[in-house]
Amino acid sequence: MTELTFALEPYTHELLDELKPLAEEHARELVPVEYNVRFPHEGCFQLEERNRIRCYIARSEGMIVGYNGFALLGGGENGSLVAEQLVLFLKQDFRKFFNALKFLKWCDDQLVKDGVQFVNQHVTEAVDYSPLLRRLNYVKAETVYRRRLWVTQ
């Protein structure tokens, strides 16, 4: 298996097109989670315009094999800058050999360079990587429950 490379990439329509097959694989993995939420892309473009979104991409031989997206919230005068995870996925074959640990650590290092004081990572019931987060000194901060309020067509 080749070495993974990591990079911060701008949130663009081109990146979304390139991510589409991987996002579909990600959605299939989350099928057991009935209440999957889709974030509106327009909101993310607005965050990009304000330099408040971070799209970290993992590649192998030029192909995207993973992504980790954050919205940067707060900051300003005397406020803590918080990175709120929007999405995280790494292809199954690339989760071995400490790749996931390296990717998460690299993302944290990039967020530190941006002045982020806190990172919120979201773990699903379908893919629970809590042990990996604990290894990186994350602590469980809250439990979130979700309920669908309407049926989509």
Distance, in Å, from the CA atom of 106 to the CA atom of 67, rounded to the nearest integer, reads: 12
Distance, in Å, from the CA atom of 147 to the CA atom of 40, rounded to the nearest integer, reads: 19
Distance, in Å, from the CA atom of 57 to the CA atom of 29, rounded to the nearest integer, reads: 19
Give me Rg for the CA atoms of the chain: 16
pLDDT digits (tens, 9 = 90+) for 5-16: 999 999 988 998
Residue 35 has pLDDT above 60, yes or no: no
Mean pLDDT of 51-58: 95
For the chain, which domains are there? Answer: 5-135 (3.40.630.30)
Distance, in Å, from the CA atom of 61 to the CA atom of 64, rounded to the nearest integer, reads: 9
pLDDT the model gives residue 27: 79
Residue 121 has pLDDT above 90, yes or no: yes
pLDDT the model gives residue 43: 82
pLDDT the model gives residue 32: 56
Instruction: Say how many C-beta atoms besides its own lie within 10 A of residue 46's C-beta.
Output: 13
- Considering 2-11, 28-37, 107-116, 119-128, the range whose residues carry the highest mean pLDDT is 107-116
Confidence of residue 30 (pLDDT cuts 50, 70, 90): confident
Write down how long the chain is: 153
